[in-house]
Copies of this chain bind each other. A is one copy, B any other.
Amino acid sequence: MTVSKTAEKSAEKAGDGTRGRKDAPEGLPEALQLGELSEQLGYVLKRAQLKVFENFLHCMASLQLTPAQFSVLLLVEKNPGRNQTEIASTLGILRPNFVALLDNLESRDLCARIRSTNDRRSHILVLTDKGKAVLTRAKKLVATKHESRLNELLGQANREALLEMLSKIANEF
């Protein structure tokens, strides 16, 4: 360990129990300075993403849908007749990891695998009637509880600008 003496000294000085700001009322636990961290896009991006997912899960509690499950339902609805490989790769999910995800949706009768008659290796994915109904309800929940709150917070125009910039990063970075 090669800690400079000055480092040790300043550390002990800063950590000596009464580290309130000058003339602080009492020894209340002072908040740390984020410093340059709050300027790091990656850091803020990750924190924001966690918050958004957390709120998504909360809004979807009644339907028990995770963001990943919701995205699968949306994509299968928009692209009926595609197989697992196509749906999974579009979502950036590796085929092996997509199996359990689908098993879950299928066991809940939201999605169905159908053996293709053209290529009997592949399973064609379709939403069940229940899956369509659940997805419809899910969309409503997302719109009224989730996205609407983001609109409140940012404003409609800002939210659209945010989406556009994030898309740019996701696609062109």
Contact = CB atoms under 8 A, between A and B. Distances in A.
Interface of A: 1-4, 7-8, 10-17, 19, 32-53, 55-56, 67, 70-71, 74-75, 77-83, 86-87, 90, 92, 106, 109, 112, 114, 116-119, 124-130, 139, 142, 146-147, 149-150, 153-154, 158-159, 161-163, 165-170, 172-173
A48 B45 contact: yes
A78 B39 contact: no
26 contacts: A2-B109, A2-B129, A2-B130, A3-B114, A7-B126, A10-B81, A11-B125, A12-B116, A16-B81, A16-B118, A17-B119, A34-B75, A35-B74, A39-B163, A40-B71, A41-B147, A41-B150, A42-B52, A43-B67, A44-B166, A45-B52, A46-B67, A48-B170, A52-B169, A153-B168, A161-B161
Contact of A32 (B8, B36, B86): B86
Contact of A109 (B1, B33, B40, B90): B1
A34 B139 contact: no
A90 B128 contact: no
Given A7-B126, A81-B11, A45 B37 contact: no
A81 B170 contact: no
Given A40-B71, A56-B42, A82-B15, A114 B173 contact: no
Q: Which of A12, A13, A39 has the most CB of B within 10 A?
A: A12
A77 to B, nearest CB: 8
Contact of A173 (B3, B51, B158): B51
